[in-house]
Every structure is written in structure tokens, then in C-alpha cells.
Amino acid sequence: MAADTQAGGRPPATPDIPPPRTETGAIGWAYANLFNSRHNAALTVLVGAVTAIGLWFCLKWIIFDADWSVIATIGGRFIIGNYNTDHACPGNNCFWRPQISLLMVTTLLGMGWGIAAGGTAKRVAIAATAIIILLAFLPYSLERMGWDVRLLLLANAPALALGWALGRYTPLGSVRWIIIFTVAGFLIHLLLMRGIEGVPALQPVAINQWGGLTLNLMLAAAGIGLSLPIGIALALGRRSRMPVVKLLCVAFIEVFRGVPLITLLFMSQVLVPLAFPEDFPLDNLFRAAVVITLFSSAYMAENIRGGLQALHRGQAEAARALGLPGWQTTMLISLPQAIRNVIPAIVGQFIGLFKDTSLVYIISMLDVLEIGRTFIQGNTEYLSHAKELFIFIALVFWVFTYGMSYISGKVEEHLGVGRR
């Protein structure tokens, strides 16, 4: 009896028994979520079988049956369209201009990584740079993709490191400077793409020769950067107590929300010139950017207004009790909370805007989708490979839209959206 007890008469401590394997790890998760009842187990087996069969046929077609040579044939036209052709740029020496813009983007991503010191900014910067660098190893001949093109693509690695160092160790490492550099970089990009008359190596390239994914990204960047502040102004104007301002904002929002974008793009050939002097230089790119921005601003205004209406009136009353003027109450209290609450709707509108840029083919602009369509129509020997072409284009759009959705989710998680 004495041997079974410890000093002081206490029984020996029993060792901890590990939990059952069916309650921990992947097996525990599967048991709790997929096989916790006969009904769920049957559904899990059925859905798993259908998914496996679908994946088998899809992978079989992708690996063995599909012919992806059409993607390699189009090559760089997916990115810049006809920008570097003999017709647009005699001598084919304009390829470096969009690549310089790409280096600026990589540097900005590096600065964001340096400021954030890791996290989502680091993953996005590294993933984007890695994809760009991998393009330098495409198995093209030197006639189609020379060393100069490959070296400029590889230069994105030191550009990322430079941006990280600027954001980490210099006074330029702030959000304000990133915004300033982003705006300046976009203007430099437009200047490089357009060219300057009389400057060597910068011969002008007609805007109607711009195309490919670069065109979609330019329109999306301009629309996203301008539609948010315009939408905020429209939302505040619609809630204004001044009847004239409110009426004008309501009329603008309802008109642009009530007309399809494709119709507005057609009408842009006539309506946009009416808002500018007769001698103002207008082109299809400018008209498309204006229409897409205004169209998205109308929807953005309603998203922001919904966020403002969701706030409790007590906050504005408390601000007035503290003596804050109306503009400070709006800018410092109401608006930041409203934007935070409608981040999913705002990003959803940005995603829709990016996809809507493919509609510019209506006004004879060769975006990435129109590049593929015209190539198939002009080369009937590739007509049987149209599936591969459009699946690839859909994948390109999905990568960008999923990237925006992923970043949005991380921002919501950081700001605690949906949590009290």
C-alpha cells in the first residue's frame, strides 16, 4: 500500500493521455466537418467522386489533348499588342518602354514591402517579381526574344531590392511618398508610351497602336485611382442639404447607373468631346478612360453612401457636442468608418471595373481579349485552338482579380472588418 502512494499519502500522478487521432489534425478536421454524420459522409463521398472525375478529364485535356502553341505564337502581343510592330514603331525598338514601366511597378512593390516589413506586401511583391523573372526564361529564339528583353525582365529582381531598401532605410519609406511616386510613375509611363517628337529612341507611337494587357491595366489603374475620390464626393453630395448639389449628384448617379457601359462607350465618341474645347486633343484611350471612370464612380458613390448610412447617428451628435465642425466630423469620423465597412463592396467594384476594360473593343481598341479574337479570325489555321486561347485569357483575368480579392481580404483582416 505504501508503495502505491507518494510522500504525504497522495496517489501517484497519472500520465496525460493523448487525445484520439480522430479528434486532432487533418483526420480530426475531416471527421468533424466531412464525416460527422451519415448524411454528410455520403455527400462527401459523392462530391469527392464527381470532383475527381472532373479533374481527371480536365487534366487529361490540358496535358495531353490541348495544343497551347497558339499562346506561344502570339507571345508578347498579349502584353503590349501592336505597340512594337514595324507599323507602330519602325525598327522594333520600343519594347523597352513598357518594361521600364514594369521596373517602376516592381520598385513600388518593394517600397511597400519595406514599409510593411513583411506580411501580405512581402508575399505580393515576391510573387509578382518571381512571375516577371520567369518570363525571361521562356523558350523563345533570340530573334523573337533577344538578350535585351530578357535582361530587362531579370532587372526586376534588383528593382525589387532597391524599392525595399528605399522603403526600409530612407525617409521615402512612407505611404505618402508611395502615393506620390505612383502618380508620378503613371505619368512617366504615359510619356514613355506616347514618345516625344525629336527625341532619339522616343519616337511617338500612335495611341491607337497601344493594346494588350498593358491597355487593360492602364484603364483599370486610371479608373480605380479616380473613381474612388469621385465616388466619395458624389456620395457626400447626395447626402448634402444643399438642394442644387444634391439634385446634380442624384442626376449624375442615376443616369450613369441606368445606362449600360457598352452604350456609354459608343456615346463617348460624341459626348466626351462636348465637355472639352474644340482644339483639345482627344483619342479613344482618353474617351474610354473618362467613361469607365465616371461609370464606376456612380456605383462607387452608392457603395460609400451605404456605408455612411450604416453608421449610428450618435457618433455625429457626439462630434457636434464636442464642437467639431461638420467637415471634420465627416472626414475624421464618419467617412473612415464608412469606407472600412464597405471594403468588400469597393473591391468588388474595382474587380468589375478591371473586367469591364475588355469592352473597349467596341471603340476599336485592341485589349488583350481583342488581340486574341483578331488573331484567331486572321489565322484560320488556329481556329481549332480557340478554346486554349480564351481559357488562357480567362486565367490571366482570374489571376489579377483573385490578387485584388486576396489583398482585400488581408486588409479586412487587419482592420477587423466584421468583428466587434
SS3 labels along 221-234: HHHHHHHHHHHHHH
CB-side exposure of 342: number of CA atoms within 13 Å? 25
Of the candidates 203, 193, 208, the one whose C-alpha atom is nearest the C-alpha of residue 104 is 193
Domains in the chain (CATH in brackets) are 88-415 (1.10.3720.10)
Q: Of 228, 317, 297, which Cα lies nearest the Cα of 257?
A: 297
Q: What is the pLDDT of residue 12?
A: 66
DSSP-derived letter for residue 21 is G
Neighbours of 101 (CB within 10 A): 20
Residue 233, all three cell numbers:
464626393
- Is the CA virtual torsion 209, 211, 214, 217 positive or negative? positive
CB atoms within 10 A of CB 305: 22
Decide: helix, strand or coil at residue 7.
Answer: coil
> Distance between CA 290 and CA 276 in Å, rounded?
12
Give the separation between CA 116 and CA 394, rounded to whole angstroms.
31
* DSSP SS3 for 297: helix
Of 199, 181, 212, give the one whose Cα is nearest residue 79: 212
Q: Which residues of 336-355 are buried (b: 16+ CB within 10 A; e: fewer)?
A: eebbebbbebbbbbbbebbe
Using alpha carbons, select from 47, 18, 44, 17 the residue that is nearest to residue 31.
44
SS3 316: helix
User: If residue 404 lies in a helix (H) or strand (E), which one and from where to where?
Assistant: helix 386-415
Q: What is the dihedral of CA 41, 55, 127, 419, to 10 degrees?
A: -30
Q: What is the pLDDT of residue 300?
A: 94
CA distance 238 to 293: 18
Residue whose grid cell is 466531412: 34
Which residue is associated with the grid cell 464597405?
A: 342
Q: What is the pTM of this model?
A: 0.86
pLDDT at 294: 93
In a structure prediction context, what are the per-residue pLDDT tens digits for the chain, which is 420 residues long?
455 555 556 666 666 777 666 667 777 788 778 888 888 889 999 999 999 999 998 988 888 888 888 888 888 889 988 888 888 888 778 889 999 999 999 999 999 999 988 788 899 999 999 999 998 888 887 778 888 889 999 999 999 999 999 999 999 888 899 999 999 999 999 999 998 888 887 888 888 888 899 999 999 999 999 999 999 999 999 988 889 999 999 999 999 999 999 999 888 877 777 777 777 767 888 888 999 999 999 999 999 999 888 888 887 788 888 887 877 888 888 888 888 888 999 999 999 999 999 999 888 888 999 999 999 988 888 888 889 999 999 999 999 999 999 988 888 888 777 665
pLDDT of residue 10: 66
